[in-house]
Amino acid sequence: MKVNLKITSVHFDADRKLIEFIQNRVDKLANYYDKIIDGEVILKVENSHDTENKVAEIKLLLPGNDIFAKKQCKSFEEATDTAVEALRRQLKKHKEKLRKV
């Protein structure tokens, strides 16, 4: 399943490879929960002297509520991976809550 994503890069242009990478990672989340309505991704570079200044914020819209993850790493790919992993855990918890009701 393909998640409808809106990808925004702040103060730079994300290349096609990065956008496809993010889309593929987020699409895999649909395997855990198939009722994802939409998604928003914001990529930005923090103004810090640290090498880990790439930030990926991912918000997924679900029926009834939203889940969100923000991660900061050395590369956008790494930040996306860790944010998607956090969202995967949140989706699993969300699904378990729905089962108990």
Give the model's pLDDT for residue 21.
97
pLDDT the model gives residue 49: 76
Average pLDDT of the residues in 91-99: 90
pLDDT score of 101 more than 80:
no
Angle at 27 between CA 76 and CA 20, to 5 degrees: 45
The torsion angles phi and psi of 75, rounded to 5 degrees, stand at: -135, 160
Position 90 pLDDT exceeds 80? yes
What would the pLDDT profile of 34-80 be if each residue is shown by its tens digit? 899 999 999 999 987 788 899 999 999 999 889 999 999 999 999 99
* Listed residue (63, 70, 82, 20) closest to 43, CA to CA: 70
Q: For each of the domains in the chain, give its residue range(s) and CATH number, in order of start.
A: 5-100 (3.30.160.100)
Q: What pLDDT is recorded for position 50?
A: 80
